[in-house]
């Protein structure tokens, strides 16, 4: 067996005494102590009849290390880490390169410096790799969600976040007092006015932008459709659909929310959000987009927010129906449910190639399907 960890020096001393006694051969002594002949001859040579000092471990650190990271660069690496405690070696490497330092060591060396200074722990095991999908251009899809509420003084803060799918650019980070439709709409108007309109938006199935299977759309999503935005809801109980938002929330928690043990007000949280958001968008390298910053991949949309909405017009040949109370329309002597979010709005029915099957649209959005061949419940 190899040297016992409890008394390595004693094991070595006993070995050299046995090996030098002549009672057994060198190979037999090595076999009994469970070491290789190379190791046995090494310790016998170091001891050579002297006291136990020769059996102590020799330091392996070289007296001179020409490739060691300069002290000034190590300080720069540690300074960035202290400013952003959630950043690792890869991000710090890219940030220093972006800041114009040509002598930045590789990311692995940056991590070693942080580990040696006690600023990060030992390397974690590699996580399972998941294939990621993203839209090809900015503004093709935005993801929107609330992060779980945070205590803020005597009340609660509900952070509303909006992320561009292609660039991971954060378009909205708002400390909201609630999750009501009117609260979200105010924030969306500000975002639309600054960045324009996306082609589509992805949300989960919860309030205020989702409801149940019978009333999937709400007045809020209907208002977004009115702006020409296609609305998509994630698969129920499947948060991976909004994986980019989920990852953003983890980053927000690590780099902002855990910095203070207690937040006293919404204003205090909003100030922290406003300070961190430019760091996330323009300074913090993002691993999922090749270690560039989101701001390098994002450009505002050319589609402008419509302050005054024009009247809804459908194509010739469409059959138009007004959605009545309880979210229903009448067609061919029957009532069909399209959703309470559309009450008072005109929808279009379009015939399909299947006899008796019609598609229901609101503006450019498909919302329902009517099959006259099926019996009503």
User: How much of the chain exceeds pLDDT 90, in percent?
Assistant: 33
Give me the pLDDT at residue 170, please.
Answer: 93
Q: Tell me, yes or no, whether 168 lies in a domain.
A: yes
Q: What is the CATH number of the domain that holds 236?
A: 3.30.420.10
Contacts of 88 (CB under 8 A, 6+ apart): 111, 114, 120
Query: Using one digit for the tens of pLDDT, what is the confidence trace for 68-77?
Result: 778 787 778 8
Give me the pLDDT at residue 343, please.
Answer: 93
Same domain assignment for residues 278 and 171: yes
In the listed set 116, 151, 186, which residue is the last one of a domain according to the structure?
A: 116
Query: Using one digit for the tens of pLDDT, what is the confidence trace for 313-343?
Result: 999 989 999 999 888 999 988 888 888 889 9
**Residue 126 in this model has a pLDDT that exceeds 50:** no
Query: Using one digit for the tens of pLDDT, what is the confidence trace for 146-161?
Result: 998 889 888 999 999 9
In the listed set 116, 134, 153, which residue is the last one of a domain according to the structure?
A: 116
Report the number of distinct structural domains present in the chain.
4
Same domain assignment for residues 159 and 238: yes
Q: Tell me, yes or no, whether 302 lies in a domain.
A: no
* Residue closest to 198 by CA, chosen among 348, 304, 280, 337: 304
Same domain assignment for residues 283 and 193: yes
Same domain assignment for residues 146 and 285: yes
- Determine what percent of the chain falls in helix, strand and coil, rounding each to the nearest 5: 40, 20, 45
Average pLDDT, the chain: 82
- DSSP helix/strand/coil, 47: helix
Domain that holds residue 194: 142-296
* Residue closest to 279 by CA, chosen among 109, 141, 85: 85
Q: Tell me, yes or no, whether 76 lies in a domain.
A: yes
Give me the pLDDT at residue 1, please.
Answer: 46
Q: Tell me, yes or no, whether 10 lies in a domain.
A: yes
Same domain assignment for residues 174 and 277: yes
Same domain assignment for residues 146 and 292: yes
Same domain assignment for residues 174 and 260: yes
Same domain assignment for residues 111 and 196: no
Same domain assignment for residues 109 and 159: no
Q: Tell me, yes or no, whether 65 lies in a domain.
A: no
Same domain assignment for residues 167 and 290: yes
Contacts of 173 (CB under 8 A, 6+ apart): 159, 160, 161, 252, 273, 274, 276, 277
Q: Tell me, yes or no, whether 336 lies in a domain.
A: yes
Give me the pLDDT at residue 188, please.
Answer: 95
Same domain assignment for residues 155 and 260: yes
**Res. 100 pLDDT band, cuts 50 70 90:** confident
Angle, CA of 94, 74 and 105, to the nearest 5°: 45
What is the pTM assigned to this prediction? 0.68
Return the bridge partners of 348, or none.
320, 361
Same domain assignment for residues 44 and 90: no
Q: Tell me, yes or no, whether 87 lies in a domain.
A: yes
């Amino acid at each position: 067996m190899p040297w016992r960890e409890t008394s390595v020096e004693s094991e070595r001393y006993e070995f050299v005494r046995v090996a030098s006694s002549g009672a057994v051969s060198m190979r037999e002594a090595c076999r009994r102590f469970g070491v290789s002949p190379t190791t046995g001859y090494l310790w016998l040579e170091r001891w050579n009849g002297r006291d136990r000092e020769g059996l102590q471990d020799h330091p392996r650190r070289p007296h001179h290390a020409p490739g060691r990271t300069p002290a000034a660069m190590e300080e720069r690496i540690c300074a960035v880490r202290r400013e952003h405690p959630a950043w690792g070696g890869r991000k710090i490497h890219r940030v220093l390169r972006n800041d114009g330092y040509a002598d930045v060591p590789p990311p692995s060396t940056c991590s070693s410096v942080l580990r040696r200074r006690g600023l990060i722990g030992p390397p974690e095991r590699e996580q399972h790799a998941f294939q990621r999908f993203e839209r090809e251009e900015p503004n093709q899809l935005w993801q929107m969600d609330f992060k779980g509420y945070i205590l803020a003084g005597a009340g609660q803060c509900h952070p509303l976040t909006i992320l561009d799918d292609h660039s991971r650019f954060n378009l909205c980070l708002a400390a909201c007092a609630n999750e009501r439709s009117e609260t979200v709409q105010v924030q969306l108007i500000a975002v639309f006015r600054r960045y324009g309109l996306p082609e589509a938006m992805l949300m989960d199935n919860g309030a205020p932008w989702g409801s149940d299977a019978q009333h999937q759309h709400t007045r809020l999503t209907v208002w977004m459709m009115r702006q020409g935005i296609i609305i998509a809801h994630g698969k129920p109980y499947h948060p991976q659909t909004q994986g980019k938002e989920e990852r953003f929330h983890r980053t927000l928690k690590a780099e902002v929310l855990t910095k203070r043990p207690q937040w006293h007000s919404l204003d205090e949280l909003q100030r922290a959000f406003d300070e961190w958001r430019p760091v996330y968008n323009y300074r913090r390298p993002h691993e999922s987009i090749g270690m560039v910053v989101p701001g390098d991949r994002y450009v505002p949309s050319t589609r402008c927010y419509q302050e005054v909405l024009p009247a809804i017009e459908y194509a010739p040949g469409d059959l138009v129906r007004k959605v009545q109370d309880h979210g229903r329309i009448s067609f061919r002597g029957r009532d069909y449910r399209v959703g309470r979010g559309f009450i008072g709005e005109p929808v279009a029915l379009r015939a399909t190639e299947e006899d008796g099957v019609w598609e229901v649209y609101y503006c450019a959005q498909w919302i329902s399907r009517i099959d006259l061949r099926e019996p009503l419940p």
